[in-house]
């Protein structure tokens, strides 16, 4: 806190000499109320023809103890929230020198970092007033996208080696080199800017944004999330959708199941037996994707064998070669109390007779005990 107090004090002196000039410069550079192209650095997909406008959301981020910056919600032509944005002007002080960092930050509907824009006439700078290069902006973008960054766990004074108190123009200020473990992830010569930007992006505003989104959530927003390429959006939508929405958007759910990360597949596998209980034919594409998905997702599917339609036995028995020893054991245990359909038996015998399958003996033993 003592270190931060030094920064605030130094910056106060800085503002006293040039605040009006700065504010006038910044006000002429702020972005228009309409966003009709993707931000310069952006994680989400941007659909052609998208045009977003600002709307008040009653949200603010604390820039410092003297100032709060408003966070606006960006809405589409249907007035549905799509993005959140804030034009940030914040002090950055290092080695006794204080400057103002100008950046427009964007958040997703769930409060995650989405990207940023810079101001053409107010570029980000490093020590000695060197302007950020393209690779510096890209590095900052990568850093802000990392919500588990070391910056989350360290105070700013813990990120410099043996801070030394210097006297600059009669004011005490800390100076020191960036520690090795963080040096690779931050922009060289801009540790303070990176630190401030990361904490503004990943502070309490994240939860506040998500709460605001939940208060305005509607079917259009939910479906936009489902059809996006963002894993967090897909997961959120799948957890919020009711049975009718699962059925109406069955094709997209199948598409996601085949291509998504295991966590998203696990949600679909969990919901599938419940949401499609009265529409067993809608479960078929998920079971037919069995050989295409990862081992963990196959195990998740096998947990739902008891509630699966009868045809699933035929489908899974044809995929024994892609299963682990434990998965085969689980499947055979399930079959032990079921009637064996002709196609299922053919698949079992084919696998048991194979000389190239390491676990063929499991099926052979099963057939000796259970086959008619």
Question: Tens digits of per-residue pLDDT, 177-234?
Answer: 566 567 788 998 888 899 999 999 999 999 999 999 999 999 999 999 999 999 999 9
pTM of the predicted protein model: 0.83
Distances (CA, A) of 132 to 39, 137, 140, 235: 17, 7, 10, 36
Question: Tens digits of per-residue pLDDT, 55-69?
Answer: 999 999 988 766 789
Question: Tens digits of per-residue pLDDT, 289-336?
Answer: 999 999 999 999 999 999 899 999 999 999 999 999 999 999 999 999
pLDDT grade for 26, boundaries at 50, 70 and 90: very low
* DSSP state string for 85-115: EEEEEEEEEETTEEEEEEEEEEE-TTS-EEE
Tokens of 324: 């682990």
Question: Hey, is 169 helix, strand or coil?
Answer: coil
The Cα–Cα gap between 285 and 246 comes to 14
Q: What percent of the chain has pLDDT over 70?
A: 83
Distances (CA, A) of 358 to 130, 168, 219, 317, 323: 63, 74, 49, 16, 11
pLDDT grade for 28, boundaries at 50, 70 and 90: very low
pLDDT grade for 164, boundaries at 50, 70 and 90: low
How far does CA 249 lie from the centroid of its chain?
A: 23
Q: Is the pLDDT of residue 21 over 50?
A: no
For residue 203, which of 64, 5, 38, 56 has the smallest C-alpha distance?
64
């Amino acid at each position: 806190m003592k270190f931060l107090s030094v920064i605030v004090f130094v910056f106060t002196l800085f503002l006293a000499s040039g605040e009006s000039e700065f504010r006038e410069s910044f006000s002429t550079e702020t972005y228009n109320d309409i966003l009709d192209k993707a931000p310069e650095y952006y994680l989400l997909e941007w659909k052609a023809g998208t045009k977003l406008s600002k709307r008040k959301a009653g949200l603010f981020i604390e820039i410092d103890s003297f100032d709060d910056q408003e966070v606006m919600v960006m809405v589409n032509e249907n007035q549905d929230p799509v993005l959140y944005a804030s034009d940030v002007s914040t002090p950055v002080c290092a080695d006794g020198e204080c400057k103002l960092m100008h950046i427009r930050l964007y958040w997703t509907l769930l409060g995650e970092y989405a990207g940023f824009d810079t101001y053409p006439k107010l570029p980000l700078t490093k020590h000695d007033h060197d302007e950020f290069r393209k690779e510096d902006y890209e590095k900052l973008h990568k850093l802000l996208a990392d919500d588990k960054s070391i910056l989350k766990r360290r105070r700013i004074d813990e990120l410099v080696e043996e801070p030394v108190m210097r006297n600059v123009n009669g004011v005490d200020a800390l100076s020191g080199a960036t520690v090795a473990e963080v040096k690779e992830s931050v922009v060289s010569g801009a540790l303070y800017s990176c630190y401030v930007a990361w904490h503004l992006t990943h502070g309490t505003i994240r939860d506040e944004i998500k709460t605001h989104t939940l208060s305005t959530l509607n079917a259009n927003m939910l479906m936009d999330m489902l059809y996006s390429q963002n894993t967090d959006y897909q997961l959120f939508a799948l957890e919020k959708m009711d049975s009718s929405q699962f059925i109406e958007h069955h094709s997209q759910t199948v598409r996601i199941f085949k291509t998504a990360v295991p966590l998203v597949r696990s949600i679909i596998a969990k919901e599938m037996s419940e949401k499609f209980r009265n529409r067993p034919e809608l479960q078929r594409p998920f079971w037919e994707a069995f050989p295409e998905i990862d081992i963990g997702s196959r195990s998740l599917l096998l947990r739902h064998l008891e509630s699966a339609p009868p045809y699933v036995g035929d489908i899974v028995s044809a995929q024994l070669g892609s299963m682990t020893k434990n998965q085969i054991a689980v499947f055979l245990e399930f079959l032990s109390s079921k009637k064996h359909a002709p196609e299922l038996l053919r698949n079992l015998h084919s696998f048991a007779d194979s000389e190239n399958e390491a676990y063929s003996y499991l099926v052979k033993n099963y057939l000796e005990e259970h086959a008619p």
